[in-house]
């Protein structure tokens, strides 16, 4: 056992009165009662704060970023940026999956002791119009 591990076990034993790696608090008591502070060291919070700051030209950083994104998408013809902007505005479209033939799904139920239960078979009709 390394010296660091021995020291941790010794420290834990002194804190809990028991041997082994156990936390120095009572059972059922949390080690972090107040939780993580909201927006503490959050990249999103920092970006939002910076985006609200005014630039020398009278626009916010968020406005300047938005204009630059539109410029790249439209004037420079970057299709990926255009798709990104549309996805941010309207959300990604739902994908449709079409079936051309019937599919059969079989479900086998297995209990905890390993015995098999009843099998159920279901036919899924095709999407023929």
Q: What is the pLDDT of residue 129?
A: 46
Q: What is the pLDDT of residue 75?
A: 92
The answer to whether residue 26 is domain-embedded is no
Domain count, the chain: 1
| pLDDT per position as a tens digit, 78-96 | 999 888 888 888 888 777 7
Q: How far is CA 129 from CA 97, 98, 100, 124, in A?
A: 15, 12, 10, 15
Per the structure, the complete domain to which residue 67 belongs is given by: 53-91
Q: How far is CA 2 from CA 14, 67, 85, in A?
A: 18, 57, 54
pLDDT tops 90 at residue 4 = no
Query: Is the full-model pTM beyond 0.75?
Result: no
Q: Is 58 left (phi over 0), alpha (psi -120 to 50) or beta?
A: left
Q: What is the pLDDT of residue 40?
A: 66
The answer to whether residue 19 is domain-embedded is no
Distance between CA atoms of 129 and 125, rounded to whole angstroms? 11
The answer to whether residue 71 is domain-embedded is yes
């Amino acid at each position: 056992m390394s010296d660091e591990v021995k020291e941790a076990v010794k420290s834990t034993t002194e804190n809990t009165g028991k041997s082994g790696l156990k936390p120095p608090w009572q059972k059922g008591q949390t080690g972090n009662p107040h939780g993580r502070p909201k927006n503490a060291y959050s990249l999103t919070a920092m970006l939002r704060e910076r985006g609200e700051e005014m630039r020398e030209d009278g626009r916010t950083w968020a406005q300047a970023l938005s204009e630059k994104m539109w410029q790249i998408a439209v004037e420079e013809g970057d299709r990926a940026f255009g798709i990104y902007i549309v996805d941010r505005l309207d959300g990604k479209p739902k994908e449709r999956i079409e079936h051309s033939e019937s599919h059969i799904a079989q479900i086998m139920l297995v209990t905890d002791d390993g015995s098999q239960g009843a099998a159920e078979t279901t036919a899924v009709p095709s999407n023929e119009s």
